[in-house]
Structure 1
Amino acid sequence: MDETRVGDLMTSPMLTIGMDDNAADVGHAMREQGIKSVVAIDEDCSPTGIVTSTDFVAMAADDRRPSETPVGEYATTDVVTVDADDPVSGVAARMRENDINHLPVMDDGQVAGILTTTDLTEWFADPPQATGD
């Protein structure tokens, strides 16, 4: 049985933001880094929200000016997290059950990285090979 853990696949370090950050600044940073999600954290590095590229679509549909909009107005605040030591198989099922594509990864009570459906797709496309000792 495969024992790959979330921590083996997560992206770290990752871009984090505050809920009051300007959406235009966040959008520019996401574009520069080529990412589709960021995690909002508080002063204790605990997740308070997640902002994805889909949230920017909603902002545009609402005819909001990103330069005048805090990202917290569009962030998902019911954040589902996983632990870096969790097995990948259970996390994939959890993502499907919750219909989510991005999961903040926790380690010692703080956000340590993010796991995305892209990370899982890459892992399934090129799974680790078993080694015989």
Structure 2
Amino acid sequence: MRVAAFASRPPITAEADISIREAARIMAERRIGLLVLTKGGELYGVVSERDIVRAVAEGVDVEKPASSIATTRIVTVDADADISEAAELFRRHGIRHLVVTKGGELYGVLSIRDLVREREVLRHVADTFAPAFDYVLPSGD
């Protein structure tokens, strides 16, 4: 099962210099949890729901640019990667969204919610990781 089959396309993007307020409005209007920011047509960073909530809780001026709260060290996964690779990236980085690329270009966004909704994906990921658990967990003998 490939990531491309589950990625939301096209990704919702905005220029990095839009305000935090505008980023939140776009996310609410489009019902997305991650907004991809671009600068001069190039991938710049991402703003998540968590970033918005944290900024508001800390009293950050919501008229500041979204780039001021963006994550610029973006975790990506290739569209042709197996879905178990995406699951491992979610787990390892403790994140809910991955930017999906294809041929080095922005392709889409994958959320952990996209995977959890699909029973077949859960089964595939469980089957992929089961041998690792057998190795790590004691047998109880």
TM-score after normalising by structure 1: 0.84
Question: Is structure 2 residue 82 aligned with structure 1 residue 87?
Answer: yes
Structure (1 or 2) with the greater helix fraction: 2
The residue type equivalent to 2:24 in the other structure is G
Aligned residue in 1 for 2:137: none
1:91 match: secondary structure: helix
Question: Once the two structures are superposed, what CA deviation does each residue of 1:9-59 show, in whole Å capped at 9, x if it has no partner?
Answer: 0000121122211111111111111111111123344x3211011111111
Distance in 2, Cα, partners of 1:34 & 1:44: 23
Distance in 1, Cα, partners of 2:32 & 2:113: 11
% identical aligned pairs: 30
2:117 match: secondary structure: helix
Distance in 2, Cα, partners of 1:75 & 1:102: 14
Distance in 1, Cα, partners of 2:75 & 2:121: 26
Structure 1 residues 31, 125: CA separation in 2 closer, same or farther (over 3 Å shift)? Answer: farther
The gaps in structure 2 that reach 5 residues or longer are 124-141
Distance in 1, Cα, partners of 2:109 & 2:49: 15
Aligned residue in 2 for 1:131: none
- Which residue of the other structure, out of 48, 56, 59, is the alignment partner of 1:60? 56
Instruction: Report the Cα offset of residue 125 of structure 1.
Output: 6.4
Aligned residue in 2 for 1:118: 113
2:97–2:111 Cα contact (<8 Å) kept = yes
Relative contact order, higher structure (CA 8 A, sep 6+)? 1
Instruction: Report the Cα offset of residue 108 of structure 1.
Output: 2.2
- Which residue of the other structure, out of 36, 54, 71, is the alignment partner of 1:76? 71
Distance in 2, Cα, partners of 1:74 & 1:96: 23
Distance in 2, Cα, partners of 1:78 & 1:8: 25
1:12 match: secondary structure: coil
Aligned residue in 2 for 1:106: 101
2:118 match: secondary structure: helix
Aligned residue in 2 for 1:51: 47
